[in-house]
């Protein structure tokens, strides 16, 4: 029956292959590419910020441009660099780790990528349009409203993030369902690799946190474009409401970012210690608990807003509690290494470097939870230092570890370890130089988001050191790029398990994985499935099915056009005020939505029967590898 349905679909090549692909591995690579691209833009913005602050009262950039830089740096790094890169890993790795041939919704997966990409593009086109968001990534009202931001900056922010947020949300649902429904036989929840677990919780956080942002952005958009009054104090609006909505989303967002990094670190540390992850079940429990508590603590970003002593007290205590599960994780990593046989590959250097760095970010987090002390820390460089320790020292280190660890699986080539060591030290030392001193800058009285600081205030030296560190991080990043370029020219000749200490299912299949991932779905017989087999002397997994034709979803251009439709609609609505394009704007907006919903209807109307990869092709692949 399946055969009768499935049509022989022409496989596309070249650019059309990438625009139409629904293969999670290719989508993963696109996420990494696009996320990496935005990471470089955000990094450039960071360097400009640090150059401006290198000396007191300098004029490297104007005050207006400076505010644009800080806003776009934060927004880009969080929404367009960090999250997409995480999604890149989730796409590239999770189906392989759970023994699946694909994600639950390949089409939606592609749609998620394209909406993220076009949302990010729209946001960054603001630089070309000359009206850049400038009210900080937190977009506090009323500064972000029409009264105080007359230009279109905020509009680019709300619409760009709204579009890319759709991508994130459907991506999150996709991974939840993939993990719930698509696990190989024997892959019970409590046998899932830690990265998959962390991504599972992250996806759940996305599902419950992003809709709040959707509403916040929509409300701000209605205020700005349709003269709404949500955050307009003169018509009864409430600006503190925006703070609440933003942080109800914003704090879980922090854990959305960091949990997958925790997952990566768990995998890398365990692999290169040749040891089972210590306290796996308490690690899972801690991850779930962190995710849960993440929704209870948003108001610690608002201690100085004036919520009153009782609210501040409660949120102080709730925030401190998060230290407990986080501590559990830290010590479990340390005891995974304890008694192990630690190999210092570049991936593991980043992972090992992560642990103490993240602890420093964690303890300053507890310090910030002390509300009365936070009256001093809040909105100073102390906070800037804290969250960069968590996000750069935590997440970005995790990303670098993941890049070096999974690169061979994704591309069939090993990144140069020699160059990698240089990357690590350059980035690591640069990182600590940049951000360690910022703790002190904050305590010495330097608020964050300031364009200039006065001379003679005792802030010069530390700012100078910080800038030097930032430049070193820039050099480290460039070294990584060089490494990538060099590696791309090497031959693809890696074995299934190039690190030789692989523990999880992704190391049982060729590097890079074939289109169908697993020629035969494997039977999972324990935690660390592949290690389990290796220890029993097996050289491959036990299959649960004979080799046979494999059904695959068809590629489609529709996701691309759906995202384009939203992109067009965004522009139309943004300029639909009488002062801009007026009704024409509304028509363009409606036309864009029509494209999107039209494509959606087409997708529903024409069933995707997919196609089959025939037995001969699979056998041929196997022959080549064997």
Partner 1 sequence: MKRFAPLMALLVLVLSACGREDLSALNPQGPVAQEQRDLMLISILIMSIVVVSVFAISIYVLIKFRRRKGDNSIPKQVEGSHKLEVIWTVIPIILLVVLAVPTLKSVFSLAKDYTEDPEALQVIVTAHQYWWEFEYPELGIKTAQELVIPTGKTISIQAKTADVIHSFWIPSLAGKTDTNPDGNVNKMYFSAPKAGVYQGKCAELCGPSHGLMDFKVKAVEPSSFERWQIAMLDTVQLPSDSEIASAFESQCLTCHAVGDYGGGAFPNLTGIGSRESVAGILINVEEGEIEYKHEDTVYNNLYKWIKDPEAVKPGNHMTGAYQLTDEEVAGIAEYLSNLTLDFE
Partner 2 sequence: MSSHSHVEGQLPHEPERATLEGRNKITGFWLFLGGETVLFGTLFAAYLTLRGQIMDGPAPNELFDFALVAVATALLLTSSLTSVFSMQAMHRHDVKGLIGWLLVTLVLGAAFLGVEIYEFNHYAHMGHTFSASAFSTSFYTLVGFHGAHVAFGLFWVILLLFQLKKRGLNTTTAPKVYLFSLYWHFIDVVWVFIFTVVYLMGKVG
* Window 161 to 200, contacts with partner 2 (CB under 8 A): 169, 173-174, 176-177, 180-182
Position among 372, 543, 548, 582 found at the interface with partner 1 (CB under 8 A): 372
Tell me the torsion sign for CA atoms 82, 84, 89, 90.
Answer: positive
Given partner 1, partner 2, none, residue 564, with its beta carbon under 5 to 8 Å by kind, binds none
CB of 310 to partner 1, least distance (A): 9
Contacts with partner 1 in 400-459 (CB under 8 A)?
437, 440, 443-445, 447-458
CB of 526 to partner 2, least distance (A): 25
Q: Would you put residue 463 in left (φ > 0), alpha (ψ -120 to 50) or beta?
A: alpha
Measured from the Cβ of residue 359, the count of other Cβ atoms closer than 10 Å reads 17
Interacting residues of 510 by C-beta distance below 8 A, sequence separation 6+: 412, 496, 621, 625
Contacts with partner 1 in 527-586 (CB under 8 A)?
535
Among 121-129, 278-286, 390-398, 491-499, the segment contacting partner 1 (CB under 8 A): 278-286
Given partner 2, partner 1, none, residue 270, with its beta carbon under 5 to 8 Å by kind, binds none
Position among 54, 69, 104, 201 found at the interface with partner 2 (CB under 8 A): 104
Position among 184, 209, 392, 562 found at the interface with partner 2 (CB under 8 A): 209
Q: What does the DSSP assignment read for 219-281?
A: HHHHHHHS---TT-GGGT--HHHHHHHHHHHHHHHHHHHHHHHHHHHHHHHHHHHTSPPTTHH
Given partner 1, partner 2, none, residue 351, with its beta carbon under 5 to 8 Å by kind, binds none
For residues 68 and 243, which CB has a smaller minimum distance to partner 2 in the complex? 243
Q: Which residues pair with 446 in a beta bridge?
A: none
Given partner 2, partner 1, none, residue 129, with its beta carbon under 5 to 8 Å by kind, binds none
| H helix or E strand, kind and range, residue 160 | helix 153-181
Site for partner 2 contains 598 (CB under 8 A):
no
Site for partner 1 contains 334 (CB under 8 A):
yes
Position among 36, 95, 145, 216 found at the interface with partner 2 (CB under 8 A): 216
Q: Would you put residue 545 in left (φ > 0), alpha (ψ -120 to 50) or beta?
A: beta
Interacting residues of 599 by C-beta distance below 8 A, sequence separation 6+: 558, 561, 562, 565
Q: Is 554 helix (H, G, I), strand (E, B) or coil?
A: coil
Site for partner 2 contains 604 (CB under 8 A):
yes
Q: Which two tokens stand for residue 186?
A: 């024997």
Alpha-carbon distance 115 to 109, whole Å? 10
Alpha-carbon distance 180 to 188, whole Å? 10
Whether 399 contacts 480, CB under 8 Å = no
Which residue from 550, 542, 593 is spatially nearest to 571, judged by alpha carbons?
593
Whether 156 contacts 132, CB under 8 Å = yes
Q: What does the DSSP assignment read for 433-501?
A: HHHHHHHHHHHTT-BSS-S---TTSS-HHHHHHHHHHHHHHHHHHHHHHHHHHHHHTS-----SSTTS-
Site for partner 2 contains 227 (CB under 8 A):
yes
For residues 375 and 597, which CB has a smaller minimum distance to partner 1 in the complex? 375
Position among 23, 45, 223, 528 found at the interface with partner 2 (CB under 8 A): 223
Given partner 1, partner 2, none, residue 366, with its beta carbon under 5 to 8 Å by kind, binds partner 1
CB of 317 to partner 1, least distance (A): 6
Position among 130, 339, 537, 578 found at the interface with partner 1 (CB under 8 A): 339
For residues 208 and 581, which CB has a smaller minimum distance to partner 2 in the complex? 208
Given partner 2, partner 1, none, residue 595, with its beta carbon under 5 to 8 Å by kind, binds none
Alpha-carbon distance 283 to 610, whole Å? 39
Position among 54, 161, 219, 391 found at the interface with partner 2 (CB under 8 A): 219
Q: Which residue has the tokens 């690190």?
A: 499
Which residue from 90, 98, 83, 106 is spatially nearest to 29, judged by alpha carbons?
90
CB of 58 to partner 1, least distance (A): 10
Among 158-166, 175-183, 319-327, 612-620, the segment contacting partner 1 (CB under 8 A): 319-327
Site for partner 2 contains 241 (CB under 8 A):
yes
CA distances for 180 relative to 92, 98, 100, 173, 442, angstroms? 17, 10, 11, 10, 45
CB of 445 to partner 1, least distance (A): 4
Among 176-184, 312-320, 392-400, 555-563, the segment contacting partner 1 (CB under 8 A): 312-320
Site string for partner 2, 491-530 (x = CB under 8 A): ----------------------------------------
Q: Which two tokens stand for residue 601?
A: 């209807």
Q: Residue 613: what are its φ and ψ, rounded to 5°?
A: -95, 120
Among 80-88, 240-248, 469-477, 583-591, the segment contacting partner 2 (CB under 8 A): 240-248
Site for partner 2 contains 45 (CB under 8 A):
no
Position among 190, 227, 233, 614 found at the interface with partner 1 (CB under 8 A): 233
Alpha-carbon distance 166 to 164, whole Å? 5
Given partner 1, partner 2, none, residue 207, with its beta carbon under 5 to 8 Å by kind, binds partner 2
Site for partner 2 contains 214 (CB under 8 A):
yes
Position among 14, 130, 308, 578 found at the interface with partner 1 (CB under 8 A): 308
Alpha-carbon distance 542 to 533, whole Å? 9
Position among 31, 39, 89, 105 found at the interface with partner 2 (CB under 8 A): 105
How many angstroms separate the most distant Cα atoms in the chain?
80
Measured from the Cβ of residue 244, the count of other Cβ atoms closer than 10 Å reads 18
The residue count for binding partner 2 (CB under 8 A) is 52
Given partner 1, partner 2, none, residue 355, with its beta carbon under 5 to 8 Å by kind, binds partner 1
- Measure the CA angle with vertex 622, ends 620 and 626; round to 5°: 120
Whether 364 contacts 320, CB under 8 Å = no
Distance of alpha carbon 616 from the chain centroid: 39
Site for partner 2 contains 145 (CB under 8 A):
no
Alpha-carbon distance 505 to 499, whole Å? 13
Given partner 1, partner 2, none, residue 209, with its beta carbon under 5 to 8 Å by kind, binds partner 2
Which residue from 65, 75, 227 is spatially nearest to 157, judged by alpha carbons?
75
CB of 163 to partner 1, least distance (A): 25
CB of 179 to partner 2, least distance (A): 10
Which residue from 122, 177, 181, 179 is spatially nearest to 152, judged by alpha carbons?
122
For residues 249 and 350, which CB has a smaller minimum distance to partner 2 in the complex? 249
Site for partner 1 contains 62 (CB under 8 A):
yes
Alpha-carbon distance 253 to 210, whole Å? 8
Which residue ranges make up the site for partner 2 (CB under 8 A)?
A: 1-2, 5, 101-102, 104-105, 169, 173-174, 176-177, 180-182, 207-212, 214-216, 218-219, 222-223, 226-230, 232, 235-238, 241, 244-245, 248, 550-553, 597, 601, 604-605, 607, 610
């Amino acid at each position: 029956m399946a055969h009768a349905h499935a049509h022989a679909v022409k496989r596309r090549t070249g650019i059309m292959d990438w625009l139409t692909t629904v293969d999670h591995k290719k989508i993963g690579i696109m996420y990494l590419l696009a996320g990496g691209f935005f990471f470089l833009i955000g990094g450039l913005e960071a360097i400009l910020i640090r150059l401006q602050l290198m000396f007191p009262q300098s004029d490297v950039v104007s005050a207006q441009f400076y505010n644009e830089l800080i806003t776009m740096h934060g927004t880009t790094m969080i929404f367009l660099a960090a999250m997409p890169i995480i999604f890149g890993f989730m796409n590239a790795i999770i189906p392989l780790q759970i023994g699946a041939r694909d994600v639950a919704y390949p089409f939606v997966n592609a749609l998620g990528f394209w909406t993220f990409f076009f949302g990010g593009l729209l946001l960054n086109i603001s630089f070309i349009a000359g009206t850049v968001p400038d009210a900080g990534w937190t977009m506090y009202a009323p500064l972000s409203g029409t009264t105080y931001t007359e230009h279109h900056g905020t509009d680019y922010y709300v619409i760009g993030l709204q579009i890319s947020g759709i991508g994130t949300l459907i991506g999150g649902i996709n991974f939840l369902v993939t993990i719930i429904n698509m696990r190989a036989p024997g892959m019970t929840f409590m046998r899932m690799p830690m990265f998959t677990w962390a991504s599972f919780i992250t996806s759940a956080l996305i599902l419950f946190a992003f809709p709040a942002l959707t509403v916040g952005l929509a409300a701000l958009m209605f205020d700005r474009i349709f003269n709404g009054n949500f955050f307009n104090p003169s018509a009864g609006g409430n600006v503190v409401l925006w703070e609440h909505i933003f942080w109800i989303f914003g704090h879980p967002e922090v854990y959305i970012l960091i949990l997958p990094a925790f997952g990566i670190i768990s995998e890398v540390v365990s692999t290169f210690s040749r040891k089972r992850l210590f306290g796996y079940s308490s690690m899972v429990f801690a991850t779930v608990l962190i995710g849960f508590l993440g929704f209870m603590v948003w108001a610690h970003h608002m201690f100085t807003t004036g919520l009153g002593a009782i609210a501040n007290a409660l949120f102080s205590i709730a925030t401190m509690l998060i230290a407990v599960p986080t501590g559990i994780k830290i010590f479990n990593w340390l005891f995974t290494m304890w008694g192990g046989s630690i190999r210092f590959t570049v991936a593991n250097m980043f992972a090992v470097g992560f642990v103490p760095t993240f602890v420093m970010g964690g303890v300053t987090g507890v310090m910030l939870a002390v509300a009365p002390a936070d009256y001093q820390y809040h909105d100073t460089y102390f906070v800037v230092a804290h969250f960069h320790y968590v996000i750069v020292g935590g997440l970005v280190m995790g990303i670098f570890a993941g890049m070096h660890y999974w690169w061979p699986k994704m591309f069939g080539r090993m990144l140069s370890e020699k160059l990698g060591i240089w990357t690590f030290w350059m980035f690591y030392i640069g990182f600590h130089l940049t951000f360690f001193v910022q703790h002190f800058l904050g305590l010495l009285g330097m608020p964050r988001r300031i364009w200039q600081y006065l001379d003679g205030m005792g802030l010069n030296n530390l700012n100078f050191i910080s800038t030097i560190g930032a430049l070193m991080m820039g050099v480290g990043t460039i070294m990584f790029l060089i490494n990538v370029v060099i590696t791309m020219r090497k031959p693809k000749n890696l074995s299934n398990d190039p690190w030789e200490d692989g523990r999880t299912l992704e190391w049982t299949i060729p590097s890079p994985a074939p289109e169908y991932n697993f020629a035969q779905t494997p039977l999972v017989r324990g935690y660390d499935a592949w290690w389990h087999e290796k220890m029993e002397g097996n050289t491959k997994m036990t299959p649960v099915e004979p080799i046979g034709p494999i059904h695959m979803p068809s590629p489609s251009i529709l996701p691309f056009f759906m995202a384009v439709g939203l992109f067009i609609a965004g522009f139309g609505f943004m300029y639909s005020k009488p002062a801009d394009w007026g009704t024409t704007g509304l028509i363009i907006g409606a036309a864009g939505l029509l494209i999107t919903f039209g494509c959606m209807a087409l997708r529903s109307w024409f069933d995707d029967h997919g196609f089959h990869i025939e037995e001969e092709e699979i056998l041929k692949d196997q022959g080549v590898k064997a």
